[in-house]
Structure 1
Amino acid sequence: MSSPSNASSVPSPTGLRTWLHRGDLAVFRSVAGRHWPGAGPVLPRLSRSADHGLLWFGAAAGMAVLGGSARARRAALRGVVSLAVASAAINTVGKGAVRRERPVLDAVPVIRRLTRQPFTTSFPSGHAASAAAFATGVALESKGWGAAVAPLALAVAASRVYTGVHYPSDVLAGAALGIGAAFALRGVVPTRGQLPAPGRPPAHAPALPGGRGLVVVVNQESGSATATASLVRDSLPLAEVVECAPGELSAELEKAAGRGRALGICGGDGTVNGAAAVAAAHRVPLAVFPGGTLNHFAYDLGIETVDDVCAALAAGDAVRVDLGRFRPGPDGPTGAPGYFLNAFSLGAYPELVRTREHWAPRIGGWPAGVVAALHVLRGDRPLEAELQGERRPLWLLFVGNGLFRRVGPAPGRRHNLADGLLDVRAVHGGRTPGLRLLAAAVAGPLTRSPVHAAVRLRRVRIAGLTPGTPYAYDGEVAHSQKELVIDKLPEVLTVYCPMPV
């Protein structure tokens, strides 16, 4: 039997809570009674600006627009989603678990107090949770952007004690929950750094420090290509940079491939597609500078910035890549085959591309994409075609150059661009195209269902098409003959690419 002295040495739960509350209150009063030079006009406004996450949504928008890279956009998106996860946890569980009253404001100077006092319980701090979740989510994707937003997150968390709406422990608990939410999200949706490096069969390519021997062709009308071209000139002073209009692109690529040791291209996926075909035909390595609205091929190779390409050029680091092929090509049976680096598709997607391009010059790229999606989902008639000898109605036929993998709900990404395989996915016809396309979007690769099928093949034959049926390849739209044959040219293309460290 324990002695009375031993029993009294262990604090009861009630005593522990009392001790913690006294400590909390002491720190709170110390903050309230101290003069903080410069904080008076800043922290209360900062605290109000973070209401409902508005400060963080604005920061994310700024990062996405001004960041100028896919990494910045990913960081912004991860920060916002982390904030949403933390906010959901706080509002559904946290606030109801501990019904702690807000601090008494007597000790807080009137000038610091918020005009509108919160009416929810005090523990934990939702503002601190949102700030910590956003900053942590951003940092997990981009250390640079994380360092930029961390001071702002700390200031918002501190403002909640400074304005008297939370005890210090409320803020610490909220911050811990926010950080936990960001890491929990990373467990479901890995960051780009967590994903395995793509399969990269190494290739021989000449080292071109400073860009010596490199001719870069720039499509003036591709996304951010003109701004990227300026960075290329600064980073590779020995390279020759040629800017041209889309109508001159093919001729300039042929000239550049004939006079340089390597061919450079600056533009989006459609522009890179044309350069890849020329580089493969001339057997010269290709340097891809992402400068379009979408840069799927470059990003799948780990190329996100001009610096990535410059490092690969200086070291002579390159990989071999498969080139998808379809016959007949855009010029008909008598013309050259068509090629694709990313994907070939029939059905809903070509219509989406065509509608988006029609509206983009008038209302902008993103709104045009929304209009195009709504237009496609209203479609009432699937495509009729014979696929691998079996005739069937199809809402969508997708043929990817390499297997597109997905981790959780994250967008698809290829881990191997030289696997020799085609990722073939079909959405079967029916009365509900919207639901069927959505089911195909969330289904994993290589699955079968009543509405969706996915297989890996080396060759695809599509017959029984109505002449003039639109198809899309790397974002470009053309029109088919009665039959199409799709296959691959394995490892025919050499691309400069930074090696994983």
Structure 2
Amino acid sequence: MAPHLPRPLRRVGLPDRHLMARSAALPHSPADAALRMLSRSANKGHLWWAVAAALATRKGPARRGALRGIAAIAAASASANLVAKELFPRRRPAAELVPEHRRLVKRPTSSSFPSGHSASAAAFVTAVTMESPTAGLALLPLGAAVAYSRVHTGVHWPTDIGVGALIGVAAALGTRHWWPIRDERPGRTAHRAEAPVMIDGQDMLALVNPGSGDPGDDPTEEVRFAWPKATILYPDRGIDIRTQLTTEIARRDGQVRALGVAGGDGTVAAVASVAADTGLPLALIPAGTLNHFARDVGVRSMPDADAATEQGAAVGIDLGEVKIEGGAGTHHRWFVNTASLGGYPEMVRLREKIQQRHPKWPSAVVAMIRVLRRARPLPVRLNGHSALVWMVFVGNGTYAPKGFWPNRRPQLDTGLLDVRYLRADVPYSRARFVLAAITKTLHASHVYRQHDVPALDVELLDGHRRVATDGEVGPLGRTFRFRSRPSALTIYRL
């Protein structure tokens, strides 16, 4: 026998009937047709899919809000329509309770309790608000209108709407369990640094990479506007960026007082390594697709960089360093974000590709499964201890969250590396890792390890591999010595 609603809800109390009567007594107006059309447009979430498509055309919080909103609708719709309606049957209001001109031509026949339309509306609006309060506030009247339209057209009782909205809000908040809200605050650093005031970029050598972001979005004009007196270089395809910059600095024989860069993380990492080697301060304009480093540092746009250089405001931040031995000689590389061995670089690349069309968390799971299926275990020594691993991740600084998808650094001067690896010496380790990642129980999993350490030595026991630093594949090596270098880079930031 199916369970029933509590007696007050099952029998529809006086408040429901009173509110329904008040709505039905409203005078005839153009709003009647508009609400009827709005109610139909929200069937099966069609309205919210259209709104999500419009929001997704804009980068940043609006796009993230659209993706989170779709995920929240999926959870809310399943909870309201597939679970709650089946468990708690309730008659819908009689058609005669509202005037004929308001009624829907095709009335729904499922349980009245709760309202799936209000659940989806509340889920989408709440999810968007979590990422972009401005966009969420703009959508709030639309969501409220969709919810009320179900009472206005006579297909739901007011309490159906209220409970449906609560389900939607809970579904949206629940997405944070697997998909944390991005913290937009810049990373903290207690190390102020000395840097020259750069009026209009005088004595600055700035490298501009037009191919870092969208093909039609060349940052050259931004750089010229911010630093009109700077010397601008473009990457030479035949020469490594580091070599190109180092040669130009030597040619100018002490006349360069600062370096500038406009590009994505890969370009910024290359220029930052030269800045660290030469002791020059770095000014950056984020112009790539992701700009993780600029986001962590707190430089979001050209005005941020321009204001900092005009005031000579700078901070010292840590860099990661890796010494590569055992291949063709010894190599030294700096990294501003991350370094890795094994399948991690491919996993990140695949996740970002899938994420262009799907939400971040499902994209991460799909990428993880695909890469792990074809991965080969790595026999290694980690700081002298033998281990069998699938991949090793090394972050410059301590990242958050502590799962396997770190996305920000709360602090930029910890003097530590964030080391994470996946063990391959545990039965069914890949399957267990995927399950733990999905259920967010990595902290209790025997296959995942995370440590914050100042240094890490990795020795491969089965040949040579390439290390990836900041998304770029490095030289072959057998021994990799990772170190945190405190305050190795001076960067302009207010």
Q: TM-score, normalised by structure 1?
A: 0.78
In structure 2, the residue matched to 1:417 is 412
Aligned counterpart for 1:270 among listed residues 266, 269, 278 = 266
Query: What amino acid is aligned across from residue 400 of structure 1 in structure 2?
Result: G
Return 175-184 or 391-400, whichever deviates more. 175-184
From the superposition, tell whether residues 230 and 440 of structure 1 become closer, same or farther in structure 2 (CA, over 3 Å).
farther
**C-alpha distance in 2, partners of 1:449/1:173?**
37
Aligned counterpart for 1:67 among listed residues 58, 66, 75 = 58
- SS of aligned partner of 1:227: coil
Query: What amino acid is aligned across from residue 39 of structure 2 in structure 1?
Result: S
C-alpha distance after superposition, 1:74-111 (max 9, x if no partner): 33344344444544553477546764422233365666
The 5-angstrom pairing of residues 204-223 of structure 1 reads 204-206=194-196, 216-223=206-213
**C-alpha distance in 2, partners of 1:163/1:311?**
56
The 5-angstrom pairing of residues 138-149 of structure 1 reads 138-149=128-139
From the superposition, tell whether residues 416 and 91 of structure 1 become closer, same or farther in structure 2 (CA, over 3 Å).
same
- 8 Å CA contact retained: 1:228, 1:266: no
In structure 2, the residue matched to 1:79 is 69
* Pair 1:175-2:169 in alignment: no
C-alpha distance after superposition, 1:115-163 (max 9, x if no partner): 5422233344222232123222222322222233223323322332343
Aligned counterpart for 1:459 among listed residues 455, 460, 468 = 455
- SS of aligned partner of 1:328: strand
**C-alpha distance in 2, partners of 1:331/1:275?**
25
**C-alpha distance in 2, partners of 1:480/1:440?**
32
**C-alpha distance in 1, partners of 2:108/2:229?**
60
From the superposition, tell whether residues 80 and 308 of structure 1 become closer, same or farther in structure 2 (CA, over 3 Å).
farther
**C-alpha distance in 1, partners of 2:448/2:176?**
28
- 8 Å CA contact retained: 1:395, 1:433: no
- 8 Å CA contact retained: 2:208, 2:263: yes
**C-alpha distance in 1, partners of 2:221/2:132?**
21
In structure 1, the residue matched to 2:214 is 224
**C-alpha distance in 2, partners of 1:410/1:347?**
16
Q: TM-score, normalised by structure 2?
A: 0.79
From the superposition, tell whether residues 331 and 13 of structure 1 become closer, same or farther in structure 2 (CA, over 3 Å).
closer
Q: CA deviation at 1:219?
A: 1.9
C-alpha distance after superposition, 1:290-319 (max 9, x if no partner): 333333222333444445545545555433
Structure 2, unmatched stretches of 5+, are: 1-6
In structure 1, the residue matched to 2:473 is 477
Quote the RMSD (CA, aligned, Å): 4.3
Query: What amino acid is aligned across from residue 463 of structure 1 in structure 2?
Result: E
**C-alpha distance in 2, partners of 1:185/1:369?**
15
In structure 2, the residue matched to 1:405 is 400
- SS of aligned partner of 1:416: coil
Return 131-140 or 89-98, whichever deviates more. 89-98
Return 243-252 or 489-498, whichever deviates more. 243-252
Aligned counterpart for 1:383 among listed residues 371, 378, 388 = 378
In structure 2, the residue matched to 1:35 is 29
- 8 Å CA contact retained: 1:448, 1:454: no
Percent identity between matched residues is: 38
- SS of aligned partner of 1:427: strand
**C-alpha distance in 1, partners of 2:46/2:205?**
46
Aligned counterpart for 2:145 among listed residues 143, 152, 155 = 155
- 8 Å CA contact retained: 1:323, 1:492: yes
- 8 Å CA contact retained: 2:262, 2:286: yes
- SS of aligned partner of 1:166: coil
- 8 Å CA contact retained: 1:384, 1:465: yes
Runs (4 or more) in structure 1 with deviation over 6 Å come to: 209-213, 363-372, 407-410, 442-446
Aligned counterpart for 1:236 among listed residues 226, 229, 247 = 226
* Pair 1:486-2:464 in alignment: no
- SS of aligned partner of 2:412: coil
Query: What amino acid is aligned across from residue 122 of structure 2 in structure 1?
Result: A
In structure 2, the residue matched to 1:122 is 112
**C-alpha distance in 2, partners of 1:92/1:36?**
34
Structure 1, unmatched stretches of 5+, are: 1-11
From the superposition, tell whether residues 374 and 455 of structure 1 become closer, same or farther in structure 2 (CA, over 3 Å).
closer
C-alpha distance after superposition, 1:253-311 (max 9, x if no partner): 44489666543323322222101101222323323333333332223334444455455
Query: What amino acid is aligned across from residue 55 of structure 1 in structure 2?
Result: L
Q: CA deviation at 1:475?
A: 1.0
